[in-house]
Chains A and B, each alone.
Chain A
Amino acid sequence: MTGARIFLRTFLRRDRWMLLAWAVGAVLLYYSQAVSVDGLYRTQAEFDRAAASMEHNAAFIAMAGPARALNSIGGQVTWQASAFGAIVAGLMSMFLVGRHTRAEEESGRDELLRGAAIGRYAPMTAALVTALLANLLLGVLVALSLWSYPLALADSLGLGLGLTLCGWFFTGTALVAAQLTASTRSMYGLSGAVMGLAYALRAVGDIGYPALSWLSPIGWYQAMHPFSGLRWWPGLLLLVAAAAAVVAAYALFDRRDVGSGLLAARPGPARAGRGLHGSLGLAWRLQRGSVVGWALGVLFTGLAYGAIGNDVGDLVGDSKASRDLFAQGGAGLVDGFYATACLMLALLACGFAVSSALRPRTEETDGRVEDLLATALPRREWLLGHTVVTVAGTVAVLMGAAVGLGAGYAMVTADPGTALRLSAPVLQYLPAVLLLSALARLLYGLSPRVATLAWLPLVLAVVVMFFGDLLRLPQWLQDLSPFEHLALVPAQDFRWGPFLALAALAASVSFLGQSAFCRRDIG
């Protein structure tokens, strides 16, 4: 263990800002639920009515957890935040463990340090302690913030420490994964799969197969029942399982060589398939994972919105502020809600569109584009391949959002006609989303150094949408967001004019970007 203390100090120092960000994020996740629930319902009767409608919504239960004491703030916080909180703690633990163990080994820095007089277990132990402390910090801060809200102290502690224990469990599994795999990427894949499985088991368990929930660490956390008859013993399950995982990780570490994993890295194909051909084939190969990931992500987000069905009124409550937010344009509450949901999903899709348009930049800064452009591949064609993938991928992601939203609504209401009317408008935002990606392409075409500024227009669009009226932003500033020019369908009627104008603008900006790229130095 020689040197573990020095490692620990270095890790904590290197990670201090990152840990702060995770802690703030986790506290916000829990605390904001309390605030939003408190603001939504004016009377207990109204709260009871909303709770009753949520209690029977299987989609909500699958997403969040068992519905308990939903007519109390503490119960709502537990319900809405605990499953996601566990995932947040799990991700934090996974990144902490990965970055200080497997990533260091993969880069060879670990070997450099091992030349010095340090114990065999020192780096791993320091990484473990860093992750344990980080999760403790997360739990304590969440508990304190809820107690200060004010919610009951014992239950706040239960909810916070349960989060810590969940994080410890996922620290243990991440540490095991780091011994099994040889690359950081596959270690993250394996750890993520463990979290996904834990989440899925409890989702299925909570909607009707309780035994499955007892197979999931997230299920154990929620079985602690904070704010609805707190009990501590399920926390012990988490503690024991976490300890077992850590012991297993150390045992596995003893059986492997430094730098390798117990599972051999899977070899890939020795020859390129037919599809890996030309700029489009390569661009698709490089981006397909991202396209599929984003499409699924917005699909599930859409499902979550859609599963609210027609219960919008109950959930939103009677307060005027919340009705104003959703019932934009004076239409009915349901139409207004789904118009806003479509817009939010489109803004989410911009995340894909902009990052995909910036993918060529990564290729250039990582020094891979020169190998390609030194072949018979013309510059214009190389960038066009990525552009086609970005545009087609954006269409796929928006389709995913629409399908998710429509399917969620249809599942709950069994009214596919209305589902289509409420979800299809997501697609009308295509030119606005593409315009943001075209701006990214233009910036990249001018210079890869300025290209990351491409995120600013998205930030502007989000700020305008959520806070435009609240902050009384000047109209010209609001007009800079392309989304402001499209009608809020289905609350308002679709208009071709702005749709076509934005499409033409997006195409021109994209073309300018591609032309600029052909005229500048590479690298």
Chain B
Amino acid sequence: MTGVAHPIEISGLVKDFGNTRALDGLDLTVEQGQIHGFLGPNGSGKSTTIRVLLGMLRADAGEVRLFGEDPWREAAALHRRLAYVPGDVNLWPNLTGGEVIDLLGRLRGGIDEGRRAELVERFELDPTKKGRSYSKGNRQKVALVAALASDVELLVLDEPTSGLDPIMESVFQEYVDAFRDSGHTVLLSSHILAEVEELCDRVSIIRAGRTVETGTLGDLRHLTRTSVRAELEQPPEGLELLPGIHDLEVDGTRTRFEVDTAELDDALAVLLRFGLRSLTSQPPTLEELFLRHYGDEVPSEADDEVLGRR
């Protein structure tokens, strides 16, 4: 349909605001038919990247391709094929939600009437209220309904659920899933990790304007540790000799430790030898991915790189 394997391709993107470097050689490739998570702490450059991608900002250096074309030059034509929901939706105080949905739909070149009605109902949105009287969550619903009811190939969502309650968030996830299943593509920026874990096929993590990691969630799990608690028949021995074991605590027959996910197999083999009575393990979460990236360890590496380049 699009004829492009990668609806979004960004490499070496640099954007400066005055003396501040907001993006410092960022790379991002999004594959057709996938939901791509775009993760990073506040101020790391997620929104700036999206705004360059949408042709609001001009790139200072690097290559940016949207559907294989230049988003700065071809902005309006390319926008016909996508819908964007900003993190902070601002509506016109004297236009109703329903009017805004129709306006944005018309500007995108048409709206699916049936889906519009269904979405308004599923999101429990009152379309007759004026923009000034909506809460943050309801303003986001207006933008989401407008985006999801349009006939587009790509959704660009910038922290789209930060004001939604859990029920509405699951409605949102359902629709985004269905959008992907019909062969379309989603770029979802977030710092809500559960959301990304729930939805995304691939993830890129950015920090200080650079991509520090990209891959499937499975690819990224090698960076994380699984935490394990076990109750055994005999006090365990030899765990401390295993590679990749951290924060080991042994209290008689009870033990708890963290293990690099890659070494999990060996650790469990040791535990089995002492007779397992109960075992709980927590899988790695993206929270931990973040901690690794923004904790003490990775930044020193990054600093080395910066120094190395100079």
Task: Identify the A interface with B (CB < 8 A).
Answer: 182-183, 185, 265, 267-273, 276-278, 282, 285-286, 366-368, 370-379, 381, 521-523
Report whether A268 and B108 are in contact in the complex, using a CB–CB cutoff of 8 Å: no
Contact B106 A272, beta carbon cutoff 8 Å? yes
Is there contact, CB below 8 Å, between B109 and A269?
no
Interface pair B56/A375, CB less than 8 Å apart:
no
Flag whether B233 is at the interface (Cβ < 8 A). no
Nearest CB in chain A: distance from B103 CB, A:
5
Contacts A182-B133, A270-B98, A270-B128 given; does A376 touch B107 at CB 8 Å: yes
- B108→A375 contact, CB < 8 A: yes
Are B106 and A522 closer than 8 Å at their CB atoms? no
Q: Are B107 and A375 in contact (CB under 8 A)?
A: yes
Which residue of A185, A268, A376, A523 is within 8 Å of B77 (Cβ)?
Answer: A376
Q: Does B170 contact A (CB under 8 A)?
A: no
Report Cα–Cα, A277/B107, bound state, in Å.
7
Whether A371 and B51, one on each chain, are in contact in the complex, defined by CB atoms closer than 8 angstroms, is no
Residues of the B chain whose Cβ atoms lie less than 8 Å from the Cβ of A276: 95, 99, 102-103, 106
CB distance from B121 to the nearest CB of A (A): 12
Whether B107 contacts A377 by the Cβ 8 Å rule is yes
State the Cβ distance, B82 to closest chain A Cβ, in Å.
8
Bound form: Cα–Cα A136–B37 in Å: 62
Say yes or no for B256: interface residue by CB 8 A criterion: no
In the bound complex, CA of A317 to CA of B106 (Å): 62
Report the interface size class on chain B.
Answer: 35 or more
In the complex, which residue of chain B has the Cβ closest to the Cβ of A363?
B92
Choose one: A268, A272, A273; the contact of B130 (CB below 8 Å): A268
In the assembled complex, how far is the CB of residue B20 from the closest CB belonging to chain A, in whole angstroms? Answer: 13
**How many contacts between A and B, using CB within 8 angstroms?**
111
Output the residue of B56, B83, B91, B129 with the most chain A CB within 10 A: B56
Do residues A269 and B51 form an inter-chain contact, with CB atoms below 8 A?
no
Residues 95-146 (chain B) with a chain A CB within 8 angstroms: 95-96, 98-104, 106-109, 126-130, 132-133, 143
B57 touches which one: A273, A367, A379, A522 (CB < 8 A)?
Answer: A522
User: Of B56, B98, B129, B133, which contacts A370 at CB under 8 A?
Assistant: B56
Contact with A along B65-76 (1 / 0, CB 8 A): 000000000011
Task: Give the residues from 174 to 194 in chain B that come closer than 8 angstroms, CB to CB, to chain A.
Answer: none
Q: Chain B's nearest CB lies how many Å from the CB of A349? A: 24
Q: Give the interface of B toward A (CB within 8 A).
A: 51, 54-58, 75-77, 79-80, 82-84, 86, 88-93, 95-96, 98-104, 106-109, 126-130, 132-133, 143, 156
Nearest CB of chain B from residue A6's CB, rounded to whole Å: 29
A238→B282 CA distance, assembly (Å): 74
How far apart sit A375 and B143, CA to CA, in the bound complex (Å)? 12
Across-interface contacts of B56 in A (CB, < 8 A): 370, 373-374, 521-523
Q: Using Cβ atoms and an 8 Å threshold, which residues of chain B touch A376?
A: 76-77, 79-80, 107-109
B215 to chain A, nearest CB (A): 28
**With A and B bound together, what is the CA distance between A372 and B54 in angstroms?**
11
Residues of B with C-beta under 8 A to A277: 103, 106
Given contacts A269-B98, A272-B102, contact A368 B132 (CB under 8 A): no
B54 touches which one: A285, A368, A373 (CB < 8 A)? A373
B104 touching A269 by the CB < 8 A rule?
no
Q: In whole angstroms, what is the CA distance A285 to B103 when docked?
A: 12
Docked Cα-Cα span, A366 to B91, in Å, equals 9
Contact indicator A268/B107 (Cβ below 8 Å): no
Q: How far is the CA of A522 from the CA of B103 in the complex (A)?
A: 21
B133 pairs with A373, CB closer than 8 A = no
- A277 and B103 CA atoms in complex are apart in Å by 6
Given contacts A376-B79, A377-B76, contact A282 B128 (CB under 8 A): no
